[in-house]
Structure 1
Amino acid sequence: MKRSPRIRKYPVTDYQRKALESLMPPEDLTVSEWAEKYRMLDSKTSALPGPWRNEMTPYLVGIMDALLDYETEEIVLCKSAQLGGTEAILNALGYIIQQDPSPTMVVYPSDVLAESISKNRIVPMVLASPSLRERYQALESKKLELQFDGMYLSLVGSNSPSNLASKAIRFLFLDEVDKYPGASAKEADPIALARERTKTFQNRKIFITSTPTITTGHVWKALQNCDIEKHYFVPCPHCGKMIEFKWANLKFPNDEGMSYVDRAELAVYACPECGGVITDQHKGQMLRLGEWRVVKQNSPHGKRVGFWINTFYSPFVRFADIAKEYFKSRHDPESHQNFINSWMAEPWEDTALKTDADLVLERQTHVPELVVPSWAKLLTAGVDVQKTCVYWTIRAWGSYITSQNIAHGQALSLADVEHVMNLQYQREDGGAPMVVNLCLIDSGYDTDMVYDFCSENSEWALPSKGASGAMNDHYRITQVNRPTSRAHGMQMVLVNTGLYKDMIAGRMHKKNADKGSWMVYQGCDREYAEQVTAEHKVNVRSGKKNVLTWVQKNSHGDNHYLDCEVYAAAAADILDVRKLYLEDIAQPPVPPEPAPAPEEEWIKTHENWI
């Protein structure tokens, strides 16, 4: 009789079991599958505590799973606020900790926010999910660096350049990038610094997400530069065709007699294909049957993939809520920018003050450089002093603040500028040559040098600087208060730069033939045009409120000629440019004195006849 082999059984200790489990390959799961199987939401951080369910936000599935696409290196998510972008990052972090331990970094706008999210979002997620909790090394962890089996998770604020440049990482997550600070004189911008940390990993992954702010903001530029851009399409419940949710198809009554609340409550969505009425009750099923589709492809290779989605897709926001927010914000630029950014996921552009280099070049006249137009009545100049050179501009002014740049350039020193300002400029009509009447020179850099120069050229030059506080006037005349300077007691001009930038941008849109147009000479160069339109006006957070402020479109761009034009405009105001039109008004003729009577002439002739 054949005997079966005897198998001796030994008890397996806990450490042996863990050692054997560590040798097992990870489960074959996508990020979204992992989230649905292992992610637990706690009541402290979620309105729907319990297991994660992809069906609640099905549009996040494609975004999360893109992390595992071997062809994709960079994922960009441009989204409205509160659409689940942070939750997608948390799910990706959980997947990495359990399935693919690798050095990982998440960059937030500030250290304070990073610490808050670590304490209130990431650690609670880890502790609520058993599969993550057993890998968490709590004793070795710090607030901004969490330790796990086989990896660390570093949380960094974009305002800490030294922390961004200190670690090699494979997975990089950049959250709310449009709130990051710009580059400084000593450091590159935080996104560039963080990217450098991934260079040693060939299989690196970079995830960028944010609500957009302006067209030159980080996330919008990243989206435009993607190889592939995808939008979420959903089936119409009436015709079955795949459509995109867009503002243009949200319909509400046009009865102006109704309150905006009542109009908003009656809002519905009209299918752009069949015109069928779509209500909030249809949205859940539409989202579950939706899919990401390519709307733009810049390259056949999908190395950088972008996703764009707006508030219409949120399962927690009604069509009426969107319409109500629109009505509340439409007459307030500050609130309306928030609606465009945080609800429509689109960049804000103030079209009234939008300028670009092409607009400047359209303002070229037939008058060549260094020639004064026939209508000009005075010349002013502005100078911006930099560390390595000096920028200058000369502008001719006429009635109704009509103006034209007749010359601009760079000089090595103020001595070279002195030569330019003392030249005589020929008139187009052959009249008497003109000289610069007044020049304002920025005294922000190398103040003593500028003060001394202006004191030596006081007949045409005044020191100036942009006002640091709020001003109601365009400019204010003060005095140099520096006893050690030769310019002590000399007039100095404080300039409200914001008001003059408003004026310049607004007048750029006037046609050359219009009164008050802002023009440039024939053959004007593009560098000048780029610099004079290097800023735009956007909402910037100041304390507890947003303030419309002029900021540079690109942190690396130059705006020196714009500063020069601001000072030239302030100089023109000092010379009463706004009153020049009075010279054109015809004075009423003076009636001739009546001819004296004959007897009066006889008396004058014979005054001594008595």
Structure 2
Amino acid sequence: MKTICSRIKAIDRALKNFLPPEDLTVSEWAAKNRVLSRENSAESGPWRNDRTPYLTEIMDSFTDYRIKKITLVASSQVGKSELELNMIGYIIDQDPGSILYIQPTIEDAKKFSRLRVAPMIRDSKTLRSKVADVKSRDSGNTMLQKTFPGGMLTMVGSNSASGLASTPAKYIIGDERDRWADSAGTEGDPWKLAEARTTTFYNAKMVDVSTPTIKNRSAIEDSYNLGTRETWRHKCPYCGEYHAIDFDNIKFDYDVVKHGRKKDFVVTTEISWACPACGCLSSEEQMRKQPAKWVAENLGALEHGHRSFWLNGFSSPWQPWKEICYAFLNAKDDPEKLKVVFNTKLGRLWELREGVEDEDTMLARREEYGTRDDGSPIDLPDGVLVLTCGVDTQDDRLEYEVVGNGHYGETWGIKKGMIMGDPHYDEVWERLDDVIDKVYKFKDPAKGLKILLTFVDSGGHKTQDVYQQCARRRGKRVFAIKGKSKSGSMAEDIPYTRPPTKVKIKTGGFAWLYTIGVNAGKREIMDAVKVQEPGAKYCHFPKESDRGYDEKYFNGLLSETEVPRTVNGRTSWKWEIIPGHERNEPLDCRNYALAAFRVIDPDLDAVERRLKNPQTDKKPKPKRKRKRQTQKNSAYDGAW
């Protein structure tokens, strides 16, 4: 009898694999079976759909037979990873099939498997019974591959051509698509490769999810526009209209608190949302209690089975509005930090605003550096701590700019000039010595600075002349540079600065040559000129006519913009001259001077102390015997 019972139980267990799936949507499955793991969630425990109501319809569209593709553009901390995990769990338990899960890199895929997939399987009873542990001898599972009855989960990086093009898959889930490689090896667009693997499945599903990045460069933006274009909208408690809560309609006041040169911010009023329809203000607490729904702009996309959703951080239960506003205030003066806030907090694309600044705007921003009581001009305003110089070499002249550098990337234009004459002749370089050797004075004429490092362009037809003249001026810290953009026709930008190399001079001897990543420098300069308030990253320019900062200078400084270039289906970005801007020497000079400052990498706090108290750092040096040196200590002996 016992033998018969045990056989019946064995048959029952086997038959369970052939039972039809429960009639559940993804959100219903998650509410019934999903457990949030303690290491990944501040709210571990059973999944609650009411905590993130905006995810419910997205999840349920996955089980709608009419929908073939789902796109989600979302800021951070809204639960988009949990959404993907719920879909994966549903597939394993309810609708088995091969899943291809794509992360930007193989390292990201391993991290996702270890930190997200493994804990989900461990903590969800129904999944634990279907997916064997990796450590099990006969499991057939690895970190990047999980088998289960009726299917397999394969996790790959977007740059892996073999992983994307090997076996058919019923489900494609792509995470952080805007961070994917442009090409999987030499095989082309990773999404197209993955999409091709679903062609044998009539009921295939594709999901792509990402935080937005840069407008007109964003793959997830393109995918969203092809779908239903749905936004999560809240009902105004006053007029009843539904609107997305966008940062442009968030209202608050704040105070600036200064700690030396650093600034902090304090939000002084309750943060409110202004309804675009009626203008009435509603608090965060009010709006979190209001009804909300997805509203589509392109219902025609349903004919192609594509739903797309866009979600920002103001709907997240884990991000108070005050936190988002504070992040914005802290980043508003730094374009790179502000870009991160736009993408990850506001859920918005960052727009490269080339051309926002023009010559007239920059001319109006110039300022008086002042004069002393005797009427003599002040060379250096307060805040300048280090001087560098960038020199552009032409066949008939040298163009230069002396730049003052201060804390937190703040800069001051000191002198822009031109030395006419063929750089082949010494007389031209002797006139450059006048610029390099000069002591530039503060308001207190007893205090001043000399140029600490000068970078001279060696490109063009005067390369050997530049090498020779720079070698003669090594003691004045004058060095040749070579500007370079990319290491290959479609490769990544090279680093802004790197250690110098020795180059031979035909007439004998050698010079030190620095290679400068000019693309990185141009991007920094263009970001900095957009900063509107003095402080971090701000660019000061003098109004005095003899300093050289006229309309022609700003025409050259703003002469280039980044434009897309596509070769063999792959897009990169290239700097090109803007029509109407004939010369770019001012931009090059500023770029070289900024690179020189980066190479110095000075301790600005120590420099500031010496300027304020010149005697502070003057200590008697103990006498020591000179040791005879038989071998060079540095590969860069004699270079800066």
TM-score range normalised by the length of the shorter chain: 0.5 to 0.7
- 1:451 is matched with none
Q: Given that residues 228 and 301 in structure 2 are in contact (C-alpha distance below 8 angstroms), is that contact kept between their aligned partners in structure 1?
A: yes
Q: Given that residues 208 and 219 in structure 1 are in contact (C-alpha distance below 8 angstroms), is that contact kept between their aligned partners in structure 2?
A: no
Q: Given that residues 107 and 114 in structure 1 are in contact (C-alpha distance below 8 angstroms), is that contact kept between their aligned partners in structure 2?
A: yes
SS at the partner of 1:13? helix
C-alpha spacing 1:113/1:184, structure 2 compared with 1 (3 Å): closer
Q: Given that residues 232 and 309 in structure 1 are in contact (C-alpha distance below 8 angstroms), is that contact kept between their aligned partners in structure 2?
A: yes
Q: Given that residues 228 and 306 in structure 2 are in contact (C-alpha distance below 8 angstroms), is that contact kept between their aligned partners in structure 1?
A: yes
Q: Match for 2:313 among 306, 311, 314?
A: 311
User: Does the alignment pair 1:124 with 2:119?
Assistant: yes
* C-alpha separation in 2, matches of 1:122 and 1:109: 17
User: Does the alignment pair 1:101 with 2:96?
Assistant: yes
Q: Given that residues 466 and 496 in structure 1 are in contact (C-alpha distance below 8 angstroms), is that contact kept between their aligned partners in structure 2?
A: yes
Deviates more, 1:152-161 or 1:171-180: 152-161
* C-alpha separation in 2, matches of 1:115 and 1:61: 28
**Displacement of 1:70:** 2.4
For 1:470, the aligned partner's letter is Y
User: Does the alignment pair 1:211 with 2:211?
Assistant: yes
Q: Given that residues 212 and 345 in structure 1 are in contact (C-alpha distance below 8 angstroms), is that contact kept between their aligned partners in structure 2?
A: yes
Q: Given that residues 91 and 97 in structure 2 are in contact (C-alpha distance below 8 angstroms), is that contact kept between their aligned partners in structure 1?
A: yes
**Displacement of 1:573:** 7.3
**Displacement of 1:344:** 1.0
- 1:229 is matched with 229
**Displacement of 1:57:** 0.2
- 1:113 is matched with 108
Structure 2, unaligned runs of 5 or more: 134-138, 358-393, 398-415, 419-457, 464-479, 486-493, 530-549, 590-640
**Displacement of 1:336:** 0.9
- 2:340 is matched with 338
Please show how residues 102-251 of structure 1 align to structure 2 within 5 Å.
Answer: 102-138=97-133, 139-183=139-183, 186-251=186-251
Q: Given that residues 99 and 154 in structure 2 are in contact (C-alpha distance below 8 angstroms), is that contact kept between their aligned partners in structure 1?
A: yes
RMSD: 4.6
**Displacement of 1:120:** 2.1
SS at the partner of 1:29? coil
* C-alpha separation in 2, matches of 1:315 and 1:110: 29
**Displacement of 1:92:** 0.3
Please show how residues 454-473 of structure 1 align to structure 2 within 5 Å.
Answer: 466=484, 468-471=494-497
SS at the partner of 2:226? coil
C-alpha spacing 1:21/1:556, structure 2 compared with 1 (3 Å): same
Q: Given that residues 440 and 463 in structure 1 are in contact (C-alpha distance below 8 angstroms), is that contact kept between their aligned partners in structure 2?
A: no
1:441-462 residue CA offsets vs partner (Å, 9 max, x unmatched) = 9x9xxxxxxxxxxxxxxxxxx9
Q: Match for 1:66 among 46, 61, 69?
A: 61
Q: Match for 2:518 among 488, 497, 500?
A: 497
Q: Match for 2:571 among 552, 556, 563?
A: 556
Deviates more, 1:105-114 or 1:176-185: 176-185
* C-alpha separation in 2, matches of 1:573 and 1:51: 59
For 2:345, the aligned partner's letter is W
C-alpha spacing 1:178/1:572, structure 2 compared with 1 (3 Å): closer
User: Does the alignment pair 1:13 with 2:8?
Assistant: yes
C-alpha spacing 1:55/1:219, structure 2 compared with 1 (3 Å): farther
Please show how residues 343-362 of structure 1 align to structure 2 within 5 Å.
Answer: 343-352=345-354
**Displacement of 1:493:** 9.3
Q: Given that residues 110 and 159 in structure 1 are in contact (C-alpha distance below 8 angstroms), is that contact kept between their aligned partners in structure 2?
A: yes
For 1:273, the aligned partner's letter is A
C-alpha spacing 1:59/1:560, structure 2 compared with 1 (3 Å): closer
- 1:252 is matched with 252
For 1:202, the aligned partner's letter is Y
Q: Given that residues 440 and 571 in structure 1 are in contact (C-alpha distance below 8 angstroms), is that contact kept between their aligned partners in structure 2?
A: no
**Displacement of 1:265:** 5.8
For 1:321, the aligned partner's letter is E
**Displacement of 1:198:** 2.0
**Displacement of 1:125:** 1.2
Q: Given that residues 42 and 49 in structure 1 are in contact (C-alpha distance below 8 angstroms), is that contact kept between their aligned partners in structure 2?
A: yes
* C-alpha separation in 2, matches of 1:89 and 1:284: 24
Structure 1, unaligned runs of 5 or more: 1-8, 356-376, 381-398, 402-437, 444-461, 508-512, 520-528, 537-550, 575-610
- 2:477 is matched with none
For 1:309, the aligned partner's letter is L
Please show how residues 467-486 of structure 1 align to structure 2 within 5 Å.
Answer: 468-471=494-497, 481=504
C-alpha spacing 1:260/1:191, structure 2 compared with 1 (3 Å): same
Q: Match for 2:273 among 253, 269, 276?
A: 269
Q: Match for 2:563 among 534, 546, 550?
A: 534
- 2:87 is matched with 92
C-alpha spacing 1:224/1:97, structure 2 compared with 1 (3 Å): closer
* C-alpha separation in 1, matches of 2:282 and 2:89: 37
So what's the TM-score if we normalise by structure 1? 0.61
**Displacement of 1:439:** 8.2
Q: Given that residues 160 and 185 in structure 2 are in contact (C-alpha distance below 8 angstroms), is that contact kept between their aligned partners in structure 1?
A: no
- The total of aligned residue pairs comes to 435
**Displacement of 1:165:** 2.1
**Displacement of 1:200:** 2.4
Q: Given that residues 313 and 347 in structure 2 are in contact (C-alpha distance below 8 angstroms), is that contact kept between their aligned partners in structure 1?
A: yes
1:267-319 residue CA offsets vs partner (Å, 9 max, x unmatched) = 22233334444223234432xx3211103456462432210010000012222
Deviates more, 1:11-20 or 1:327-336: 11-20
1:522-566 residue CA offsets vs partner (Å, 9 max, x unmatched) = xxxxxxx9x974259xxxxxxxxxxxxxx99x9435749679x99
- 1:593 is matched with none
1:236-295 residue CA offsets vs partner (Å, 9 max, x unmatched) = 234433221111221112666999654266222233334444223234432xx3211103
Q: State the percentage of identical aligned residues.
A: 28
**Displacement of 1:60:** 0.3
C-alpha spacing 1:295/1:34, structure 2 compared with 1 (3 Å): same
* C-alpha separation in 2, matches of 1:505 and 1:265: 31
So what's the TM-score if we normalise by structure 2? 0.58
* C-alpha separation in 1, matches of 2:42 and 2:515: 53
SS at the partner of 2:348? coil
